[in-house]
């Protein structure tokens, strides 16, 4: 099945197979035969006129609104999505072994990593299994060109997006400068975007499906929604970990103009708290350990069990933890 079939054509989010997923990403089909996620079909129902849903693909056939349901489940696609999720989970497990247990990779797992990382030209397939394992470990622990991320970390992020295209560095504070203008200049209109923050042993960030769109009025703030999810790469879990993603209805991207206090907020992460240096950050600490934080968290937390991703000793204010990043970079795919 084509990779695009696993993504909703309206919101560009991947389908999920879980019926209890609050993000409503199950594939649902309209009468015309076109499939979209339950969230988007619910939105189509909300905007429907005369009790009929018009297909986003501009079909002539309409679908009656059913207030109790968000469309009929596409069971064929649902089964394919479940199989893909299981395969993806296995692939992520294999990728993680490249850093900590490459010596235990089977020949089939080696071939899987070579295929995922497009490493055909970098691995000597005639060298034997032990040599190929060592080669993979070296490659996966090497850095992406110009970035502080390893190739393994980049591949894991690409699996989470998901995309088969590699990550490409757009902006890095220690290379391109720390100002708001430096970041906007380097990032431009690129999307999707991966923001990565490093402070001490901690490395974490957020993905946003939209581009940075500064307001037309330099004294204003442009706020808009997009698909987002947070992740940890180091310091919080034993392995890089995807934290629950954020419903596009609630994920917010805010871009302030440069006239007063230029600032960029990507959901819970704010860059440019002091108005100029994007390394001055705030994290809203909205995740509670043992509740909406994945199992295995070993990073810092405050007395109320709010996760302190930047490693602060405690919250400095009710608005979260303020910190200065050692480095900050923005990447895109392709």
- Write the pLDDT tens digit of every residue in 101-124: 788 899 999 999 999 888 989 999
On whether residue 109 sits in a domain, the answer given is no
Burial readout 82-112 (b: 16 or more C-beta within 10 A, e: otherwise): eebbeeeeebbebbbbbbeebeebeeebbeb
Domain shared by 193 and 327, yes or no: yes
The Cα 291–Cα 107 span in angstroms is 39
One domain, residues 59 and 172: no
Same domain, 328 and 181: yes
Q: Last residue of a domain, which of 79, 106, 138? A: 79
Query: Do 182 and 65 share a structural domain?
Result: no
> What confidence tens digit (pLDDT) does each residue in 122-165 have?
999 888 999 999 999 999 999 999 999 999 999 999 988 888 88
Mean pLDDT of 176-198: 95
Residue 67 lies in a domain: yes
SS3 80: helix
Higher-pLDDT residue of 2 and 201 is 201
Looking at the structure, do residues 173 and 285 belong to the same domain, yes or no? yes
Residue 84 placed within a domain = no
185 and 62 together in one domain: no
Q: What own/partner pairs with CB < 8 Å and gap ≥ 24 does 174-178 have?
A: 174/327, 175/146, 178/276, 178/277, 178/278, 178/279
Q: Are residues 172 and 51 in the same domain?
A: no
169/65 same-domain check: no
Q: At what angle do helices 129-140 and 75-100 cross, to 10 degrees?
A: 90
Tally the domains of the chain. 2
The predicted structure's pLDDT at residue 316: 58
Q: Where are any strands of DSSP class E within the chain?
A: 27-29, 35-37, 52-54, 62-64, 72-73, 167-172, 193-199, 202-208, 221-225, 228-234, 241-246, 252-256, 264-266, 269-271, 280-283, 300-301, 307-308, 321-324, 327-333
**Using CA atoms, how far apart are residues 157 and 16, in angstroms rounded to an integer?**
18
pLDDT at 246: 55
Which CATH number do you get for residue 16? 3.30.40.10
Whether residue 38 is contained in a domain is answered as yes
Virtual CA dihedral for 290, 157, 207, 1, nearest 10 degrees?
A: -110
Show the domain range for 287: 163-333
How is 52-70 classified by DSSP, letter by letter?
Answer: EEEPTT--S-EEE--TT-S
Q: Is the predicted pLDDT of residue 251 greater than 80, yes or no?
A: no
Which of 41, 59, 79 lies at the terminal end of a domain, its last residue? 79
For residue 146, tell me if it sits in a domain. Answer: no
Q: What percent of the chain has pLDDT over 70?
A: 91
- Please, which pLDDT band fits residue 298 given cuts at 50, 70 and 90? very high
Decide if 94 is inside a domain.
no
Identify whether residues 67 and 192 lie together within a single domain.
Answer: no
First to last CA, the chain: 22
90 located within any domain: no
Sequence-ordered list of residues with C-beta below 8 angstroms from that of 318, at least 6 positions apart, any chain: none
Q: State yes or no: pLDDT of 69 exceeds 60.
A: yes
The reply to whether 291 falls in a domain is yes
DSSP state of 14: B
Given 51, 79, 107, the domain boundary residue is: 79
Query: What does the pLDDT read at residue 260?
Result: 62
| pLDDT band with cut points at 50, 70 and 90 for residue 229 | confident
Give the mean pLDDT of 43-47. Answer: 87
Pick the most confident of 169-173, 223-227, 237-241: 169-173
């Amino acid at each position: 099945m084509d990779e695009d079939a696993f993504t909703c054509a309206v919101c560009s989010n991947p389908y999920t197979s879980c019926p209890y997923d609050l993000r409503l990403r199950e594939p649902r089909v309209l009468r015309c035969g076109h499939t979209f996620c339950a969230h988007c079909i619910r939105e189509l129902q909300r905007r429907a006129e005369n009790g009929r849903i018009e297909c986003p693909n501009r079909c002539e056939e309409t679908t009656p609104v059913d207030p109790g349901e968000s469309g009929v489940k596409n069971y064929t696609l649902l089964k394919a999505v479940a199989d893909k999720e299981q395969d993806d989970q296995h692939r992520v497990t294999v990728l993680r072994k490249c850093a900590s247990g490459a010596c235990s990779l089977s020949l089939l797992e080696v071939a899987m990593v070579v295929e995922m990382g497009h490493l055909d030209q970098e691995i000597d397939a005639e060298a034997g299994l032990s040599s190929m394992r060592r080669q993979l470990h070296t490659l996966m622990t090497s850095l992406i060109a110009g970035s502080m991320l390893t190739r393994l970390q980049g591949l894991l992020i690409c699996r989470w997006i998901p995309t088969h295209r590699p990550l490409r560095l757009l902006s890095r504070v220690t290379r391109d400068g720390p100002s708001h203008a430096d970041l906007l200049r380097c990032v431009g209109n690129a999307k999707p975007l991966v923001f990565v923050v490093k402070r001490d042993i901690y490395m974490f960030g957020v993905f946003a499906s939209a581009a940075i769109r500064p307001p037309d009025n330099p004294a204003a703030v442009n706020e808009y929604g997009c698909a987002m999810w947070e992740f940890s790469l180091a310091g919080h879990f034993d392995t890089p970990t995807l934290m629950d993603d954020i419903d596009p209805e609630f994920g917010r991207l805010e871009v302030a103009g440069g006239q007063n206090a230029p600032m960029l907020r990507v959901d819970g992460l704010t860059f440019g708290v002091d108005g100029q240096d994007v390394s001055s950050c705030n994290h809203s600490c909205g995740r509670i350990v043992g509740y909406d934080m994945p199992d295995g968290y070993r990073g810092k937390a405050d007395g109320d069990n709010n996760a302190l991703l930047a490693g602060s000793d405690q919250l400095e204010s009710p608005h979260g933890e303020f910190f200065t990043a050692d480095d900050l970079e923005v990447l895109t795919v392709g």
